[in-house]
Every structure is written in C-alpha cells, then in structure tokens.
A and B are shown apart, each in its own frame.
Chain A
Amino acid sequence: MSPALRRRENISGYLFLLPSLVFFVGFVVIPMIMCVVTSFYDANMNLNTPDVFIGFGNYVELWQDPVFIKALVNTFIIVGVSVPFVCAFSLWVASVIYKMREGLLSFFRIVFYLPVVTGSVAVTVVWKWMYNNYYGIFNHLLKGAGIIDSNINWLGDPKYALWCIIIILLTTSVGQPIVLYVSALSNVDQSLVEAAEVDGATNFQVFWRIKWRQIMPTTLYILVITTINSFQCFALIQLLTSGGPNYATETVMYYIYYTAFKLYRFGYGNAMGVILAIFIGLLSALQFRLAKEK
C-alpha cells in the first residue's frame, strides 16, 4: 500500500466509524466505566451533592445484606433452571420442525417467537390475570381437574411465586434459540450424516456423534445469551411481585433497580451491577471451557 493510500484508508476508516463511535463511547463505554468507578463511592441521584469515596465499603456491605444474598440465590435458581431447560426444549422443538415444509416451519418458528415480540409488559399483565387468585384460569383448571382443592394465591405464596415467574420467563426465552437451532441443524453437513447412515449408524448415534458436534457453536451461543437473559430477569418481577412476598422473588436485577431508583443509593446499586457482570462473565467463560473440552 502506498503511503497516500494508507492515509486515505486511515482517515476514511475513522470517518465512517465516527458516528457509531460517538454513540458507542458516549452511551456504552462511559457508563460502563462509571459503573465500576461509582461502585467505590457513596453516591446518590442528586448531582449537586458530591460523591464520597468509601473504597470497598459497598462491596463489604453487600455480603452482609441478607436481601442481596437472597436475591443472588433466587437469581441462581432462575438461571440454573431456565438455561438447561431452554436449551433442551429448543433443541427438541428445532429437531422436530427443521425438516418440515417451509410454511409449517415458519408457522412454528413464529408461534414460539410470539411471546418475545409481544413484549414483556403485555405478556406479564396477561399472566398476572391468569395467575389471579379469584379470576385466574389456573385455579379454575386445576380445581376442575381435581389437582387442588381450594384456590391458590400463586404470586402471593412464597412457595410458588418464584416458579410462576420462571414459567413465564421460559415462554419468553425459547424463541430465539429455536430459530438458531433450526438454522444450525439445516446446515449440518449432509454428506457426513449419509456416510454414517450407510455405515449403519442409528438415528441416536447420528445425532450425538455428528449433529450434536456440528451444532456445538450454536449451543454455546445459546447458553451464553440465555444465561445473560435469565440473569437480567426484571420486568416480570417488577410488574408481578415487586420482589415479594417476603423477598421470595427478589432478584439481583430487581434489587439493583430498587436500591438505585427507589432508595437512590447509586454507588450500592452499581457495586451490585459489577458483581452481576462478574458472575455473568465467569459463567460464560466456564461454558466456553466446557464446550471446548468436549
């Protein structure tokens, strides 16, 4: 490359990037840095009162905060249940539908994507009605089937509330993984599959030995996005239970919102954000490791 051309490439490259960089740096990178910095301060919403540096004060307090611990445990329950379930469920659905005619395939893909597109608020309010103690269909159906004797206050009972949230979360989480798995399965190298079949491999063997290996990158991607999504479960909690009853559905994301925007403890909220990011990062790294070893 001639120096003149190199200069032109440099300048034009940066000019094309500039508009995007302004937004990326301004609204993603700076808040990211601020999140870490503010977590070492006693800071509030008011811009006129100066923040007070307290070192690891917020972090120390976090581990002595029973609500935070409870939120962390609940978050891990949500992640632990939803991630494997979403992966297995969407792989199964995808494996059933990916060979179907185009029309039928689109139909199922759309149906399982619907709860995502419907939006968290619309989805949540209708589930709230379905879970309702007096007018909800669940109590009606379960009583009709003789499974329960009297109405259960699903969202108001600490025994059930978290599971009710997880069920809704699952229906809004499988859409994207199904789309991804369908595309991955139809891209599996057909010659390998045929060769194995000629050699007399069973369907089961073909799946585990060939297909499963080839869709591994997709599985990994799905694991990571589902983990991130489950960690950030928020709208459901805020609209259905506000973390209650008795912190039974408190999650880290909801507690961050609560401390930052209801108690106006910005530094404390950011410290939780940092912890959350670390957990997500560790979990993603672990998933990459496991996938590589296999």
Chain B
Amino acid sequence: MKKSKDNGQSVAYRIISFIVLLVLALIFIFPLYWIVTGMFKPPAAINSPTPQWWPQEWTLRNITELFSRRTAPLFGNLSITVPGAVRWMINTVFMAVMAMILTCVTASMAGYALAKKRFFGRTLLFSLIVAAMALPKQVILVPLVREISALGLYDNIWAVIFPTVGWPFGVFLMKQFAEGIPGEMLEAARIDGASELRTFTSVVTPMIKPGIGALAIFTFINSWNDYFMQLIMLTSNSNLTISLGIATMQAENSTDFGLIMAGAALAAVPIIIVFLLFQKYFTKGITMGAVKG
C-alpha cells in the first residue's frame, strides 16, 4: 500500500530507464566481448574495414602465436625454457599471491592494534595513515624507484610486492572490521591467561574473517592490475608481468590485433574469473573501506 507513491514514478520512466540500462550494459561488456572473439579471428577478418560481429572462421593462430614469442626460463634462471607468456603468468600469480598474503597478515595485525590496543601515539599514527591514503599513490612511485634501486631490488618481482603491502588502505579497512570485536571477549581471553599472539590467532582472527576475505581479494586484483608500478620497476623479459608483457608485445607488433587480443584475454580472463567467484567479498571491501573515509 505504501508502495503506491513509488508506482507513481511513472511506469514509462521505469521501462525507459531499464532499456537505457540494458544498452549501457551492452556497451560496457562489449570491449571484453571484442577481446574474446577477436582472439579467435584470422588476420584477414581482423584487418578488414568491415568488422565481423561474430567470427565466421575460427582460428587458434593468435594463441599459438602468443605462445611462440619471447621465450624465457620457467623459473629463476632455470635452463628449462617456456614461452614468455607462461613465465609472465607465473610471475603475475606469484606477485599477486605474495602481495595478498603479506598484506592480509600485516594489515589485520595492525588494524587490530589500532582498533583495540590503547598504546601511546595511537591517534597520531592513525591520522598519519589516513593522510597518506588521501595522497596520490603514483606520486611516490618515482622516488620509490630510486629507493628500490638502492636496495638492489630493481627489476625484481619483490619490488612491486613490498610497496603494495605498504599501502595503508588495508590497515584502514581492517581497523574498521576490528572495531566490531567486543572488548569483553578480549578481556576473557586475557583472564584465561592466553598470550597476546594466541588471543590474536584464536579470538581476533575468526571475528575479522570477512574483512580478511575482502582485503585478500581486493589486494589480489589491484596488485594484478597495477600496471604503472610494474612498468617502472620491471624491465627484463623474464621478470615481466602479464600486463607488461602484453604492453611490450603491443609496442612491437602494433598492428597484429589478433595476437594482442589473445594476450589481453590471457591477462584479463583469469582475474575476471577470480573477481566473479569472490565478488561478494569484494563489494563488501569497497563499501567498508568508504564508511568513514
């Protein structure tokens, strides 16, 4: 009954906006569709002024081409060599997983301390973290390169992992989640004689699990896609990430769109699948991170 007003928002407006929304959705999906179908089109179909909306002839040429370029050692300086794309994929997964684990461990510990521990300088430290978050991340990357070189980490995959872990968003997010832990539970653990570390692992961690999930998926995707940082830190062929590798190929074969689409698909499809599997956590992370932002 109370809905009557709502329906007063004319039916016509609703139908029109739904149609507009569908059209927009199509536009937003289209680039991805174009990548995935382009990957299977032969060069003649790709380099034609009349686009084929659906591949008339399917080919694996682009994919075999992608996996025949720029060989690199499988791992480290191993003598087993693989196509560049395979090595780049290994690097990318390693980078994203390491960044994710390190961020989750350090940020959940720090977030818990900031939310629940009454230590000297807590407010000041938290203000510093919030202030750092408001600054443009990319501005610090230029001086970071010099620092990384001085540390001897330049052109090393850890050079992109460490700065990701240092970015304070995770600490901020985990603090939001840790605020919700009841003080009595911590008190009870202390009275039972649990050590600080034990309290953290068996009382705190289970309570902030959804937060850790959100942060994990958030960090994984951001690290995977952080092109600028990868670009300035990594140079040699065997150290590239998949995004960098595709960008390099694009610079070398700028008109072979089929090959480049195959590369783009290789970079995008895995991360999209990860996103689809965990999007509930992801959405939660975005909204929680903004609550008091």
Residues of A within 8 A of B (CB): 1, 6, 8-10, 12-17, 19-21, 23-32, 34-35, 38, 45, 47, 93, 96-97, 106, 108-115, 117-123, 125-130, 132, 134-135, 137, 139-140, 171, 176, 179-180, 183, 194, 197, 203, 218, 221, 224, 228, 231-232, 234-235, 238-239, 253, 256-257, 260-261, 266, 269-270, 273-274, 276-277, 280-281, 284
Contacts and interface: CB of A to CB of B under 8 A. Distances in A.
Contacts of B140: 28, 31-32, 35, 273
Nearest to A168: B31
B182 interface: no
A197 B293 CA distance: 31
B119 A47 contact: no
Contacts of A29: 128, 132
B9 A20 contact: no
B132 A119 contact: no
Interface in B152-169: 162-163, 165-168
B286 to A, nearest CB: 5
A27 B144 contact: yes
Contact of B28 (A111, A134, A228): A111
A117 B46 contact: no
A130 B31 CA distance: 9
Interface-centre pick from B9, B38, B286 (highest chain A CB count, 10 A):
B286
Contact of B138 (A111, A253, A274): A253
A256 B228 CA distance: 12
Interface-centre pick from B118, B246, B261, B290 (highest chain A CB count, 10 A):
B290
Range for the number of chain B residues in contact with chain A: 35 or more
B162 A23 contact: yes
B113 to A, nearest CB: 4
B119 A23 contact: no
A234 B250 CA distance: 17
B283 interface: yes
- Interface of B, secondary structure class, is helix
Q: Which 6 A-B pairs have the closest CB atoms?
A: A13-B119, A13-B117, A20-B110, A27-B166, A23-B166, A16-B113
B4 to A, nearest CB: 9
Contacts of A111: 25, 28-29
Interface in B256-293: 257, 260-261, 263-265, 267-268, 271-272, 275-276, 279, 283, 286-287, 290, 293
Contacts of B76: none
Contacts of A28: 132, 140, 163, 166-168
B138 A122 contact: no
B185 interface: no
A120 B272 contact: no
Contacts of B224: 119
A97 B166 contact: no
A203 B18 CA distance: 18
A122 B106 contact: no
A281 B21 contact: no
B157 to A, nearest CB: 15
Given A122-B268, A129-B257, A277 B34 contact: no
Contact of B114 (A17, A47, A110, A253): A17
B48 A135 contact: yes
B106 A20 contact: yes
